Amino acid sequence: MDTRDTIADLRRLPHFRGLPDDLLEGVASASRSVRFDAGLTIFAEGDPVRGFWAVRSGMVKVYRLSIDGHEQVLHHLGQGRTFAEAAVLSMSHYPAHAVAVADTELIEIAAEPFLRLFRGEPRLAAAMVSALSNWLLDLTDRVENLSIASASVRLAHFLLRLPSRRADGVTVLELPFAKKELAAYVATTPETLSRLLRRWQEADVLRSAGRRLEILDERVLSAIADGGENAEVRRAGRAP
């Protein structure tokens, strides 16, 4: 891959949008393309910071591990997303783990050259500030979601925010990662996830086939996501 390609890729990132070519060339020369097969670790918590990454294709999971081995997902990152900027900008060690959950192609922007550039080029500062602010908003949303006690509400939220397309009168969406991952993301277990989907399916709220979901009744799903309790689909037998 040559520098021209890298520049084109970088330009698609919000960080570098609008910056002139000569500046980007400096960044590009500090970058390289790397492949990670599904399951491979990109960096581990505590590793010294080497650089930050942009996802060219595939999917990356950033997470922490608690002492008892439970995994806490911080983010899932698909095409076009970047991660670990904050680590490069102000930490010496990565504060979390990152792993490829699918075959993944990344651009690695090495820390040292990037930081030199950052210090010398005020235009980059604004861009990085904006990138960090976006992360903050993301995490804020995440905290908001996790603060909700009910797993069904969290799951409904997640599904409704997923990119979707309409076809044959129903909304079709594709889960961006395996159900196991999804369960971890909404902070529940695969079993609970499976049961929720089944319950909703039995209530004709949605249909689930592998990673493909069809939302049949968006109003009910929205109601679950909002109120939770009252709107929840009741199991079997209805009161007399």
Binding site for DNA (CB under 7 A): 149-152, 178-181, 187-198, 208, 211, 229, 232
Quick one: what does residue 89 bind among a copy of itself, DNA, none, with the CB cut-off 5 to 8 Å set by partner type?
a copy of itself
| 142 lies in the binding site for a copy of itself (CB under 8 A) | yes
**Can you read off the two tokens belonging to residue 185?**
């993301």
- The residue type of 230 is N
| Sequence-ordered list of residues with C-beta below 8 angstroms from that of 52, at least 6 positions apart, any chain | 82, 83, 84, 85, 87, 88, 108, 109, 111, 114
- 193 makes contact, choosing from DNA, a copy of itself, none, with CB < 5 to 8 Å by partner type, with DNA
Binding of a copy of itself at residue 46 (CB under 8 A)?
no
The reply on whether position 191 binds a copy of itself by CB under 8 A is no
Tokens of 54: 């942009």
CA distance 161 to 158: 5
Nearer to a copy of itself (CB atom), residue 128 or residue 173: 128
Candidates 24, 49, 55, 74; binder of a copy of itself (CB under 8 A) is 74
The C-alpha angle with vertex 158 and arms to 153 and 164, in degrees rounded to 5, equals 135
Q: Which residues pair with 32 in a beta bridge?
A: 108
Closest approach of DNA to the CB of residue 183, in Å: 7
- Judged by CB under 8 A, the chain residues 95 through 124 that form the site for a copy of itself are 95-96, 119, 122
